[in-house]
């Protein structure tokens, strides 16, 4: 599991936890409220969608952030039965304007992660490729090869993200395996 070092704005690397720094999360929430008023659950789903499922804030993170925004006058809340609808205030808009570069960078990171997640899913999940050419997937394979492919996918997921040296090492292993497969004989033997 990975999060952003020093919050979304700092660093650029990842660390355990998939976390925003609280101030970064509040700015992102405000920027989403600029687009339109939203409920807490809607904000959770929107952040999940924009990150391709990488960042899914819990209600225990979102609702305290929304409460803070309300208490500091950056957002207003309107009760709709059991739900609360949050709207940005003028002071919230000013804060978003003052921090637009950082917010755009943060949202860009989320969208970049979403793109990478979609790419990884496309590579490793044959069902995500419905309607595409199916040259490199084997949906009907129930053999030991299918089990080994699943093991390989799991190993790669556990090792990601990798350093340049680790990427070279992994690529070498995969290239040697491909070479052995190609050299081993005819298809269907």
Q: What percent of the chain has pLDDT over 70?
A: 74
Select the more confidently predicted residue: 44 or 147: 44
What tokens appear for 17 in the block? 């936890």
Prior bond to 161 cis, omega within 30? yes
Range in 14-18, 19-23, 119-123, 134-138 with the lowest mean pLDDT: 14-18
H/E element, 75: strand 75-80
CA distance 38 to 86: 5
Contact present, 25 and 12 (Cβ < 8 Å): no
- Structural domains in the chain? 3-118 (1.10.10.10), 138-183 (no CATH)
What tokens appear for 52 in the block? 């391709």
Contact present, 13 and 63 (Cβ < 8 Å): no
Select the more confidently predicted residue: 143 or 10: 143
Range in 29-33, 35-39, 153-157 with the lowest mean pLDDT: 153-157
Buried b (16+ CB within 10 A) or exposed e, 80-102: eeeebebebbeebeebbeebeeb
CA distance 1 to 18: 6
For 143-161, the pLDDT digits (tens) are: 777 777 777 877 787 777 8
For 75-127, the pLDDT digits (tens) are: 999 998 889 999 999 999 999 999 999 888 888 888 887 777 777 777 666 56
């Amino acid at each position: 599991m990975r999060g952003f070092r020093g919050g979304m704005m700092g660093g650029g690397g990842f660390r355990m936890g998939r976390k925003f720094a609280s101030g970064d999360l509040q700015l992102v929430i405000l920027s989403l409220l600029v687009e339109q008023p939203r409920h807490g659950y809607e904000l959770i789903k929107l952040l999940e969608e924009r990150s391709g499922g990488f960042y899914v804030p819990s209600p225990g993170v979102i609702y305290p952030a929304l409460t803070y925004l309300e208490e500091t006058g950056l957002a207003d809340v309107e009760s709709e039965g059991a739900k609360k609808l949050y709207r940005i205030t003028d002071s919230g808009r000013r804060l978003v304007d003052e921090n637009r570069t950082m917010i755009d960078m943060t949202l860009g990171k989320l969208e970049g992660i979403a793109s990478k997640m979609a790419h990884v899913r496309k590579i490793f999940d044959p069902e995500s490729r419905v309607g595409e050419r199916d040259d490199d997937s084997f949906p009907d394979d129930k053999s030991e090869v299918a089990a080994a492919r699943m093991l390989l996918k799991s190993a790669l997921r556990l090792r990601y993200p990798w350093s340049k040296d680790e990427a070279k090492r992994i690529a070498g292993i995969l290239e040697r395996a491909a070479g052995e497969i190609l050299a081993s004989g005819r298809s269907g033997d």
